Amino acid sequence: MTFHPDHEALHGVTVVVTGASGKTYVGRYHERTERGVLLHDVGVHDPAAAAHPLAEWLRRQDRFGVKVEHRHLMLPPAEVGDVVPFLDWLAANPALPPHL
């Protein structure tokens, strides 16, 4: 049973969005409009402030779940780079950090 037919294929899927700013976003894709990409329940990796490198941070989001910093986040078009399903990112990056 689905409650949201007629949406994009990524609707409801947790994705990794590469930002032009250098930040990376993990969240549930809602839609893309002229205003940008709207995500729900979003975690953000900011390389300037993060405790872990990006790959390790993403692995932790996979293991423990996405640590939500924004319930809803609209990423403007200029910020949105690649949008990849999180599972696809994980499949393409199978190496585990040693501590996991």
Partner 1 sequence: MPYPPMLVQPMKDEVTRLGAKELTTIAEVDEVLGPAQGTALVFVNSVCGCAAGNARPALRRALEQSEAKPDVVATVFAGQDLDATHRARSYFGEDYQPSSPSFALLKDGEVVHFIHRHQIEGRTAEAVAGELVAAFGRYC
Buried b (16+ CB within 10 A) or exposed e, 35-70: ebbbbebbbbbeeeeeeeebebbbbbbbeeebeeee
**C-beta of residue 97 within 8 angstroms of C-beta of residue 59:** yes
Nearer to partner 1, 44 or 62 (CB): 62
Q: Is 3 in the site for partner 1 (CB under 8 A)?
A: yes
Candidates 31-39, 44-52, 62-70, 92-100 — which segment interacts with partner 1 by CB under 8 A? 62-70
Single out the residue of 22, 47, 53, 65 in contact with partner 1 (rule: CB under 8 A).
Answer: 65
Q: Which residues of the chain form contacts with partner 1 (CB under 8 A)?
A: 1-4, 11-14, 62-68, 85-87
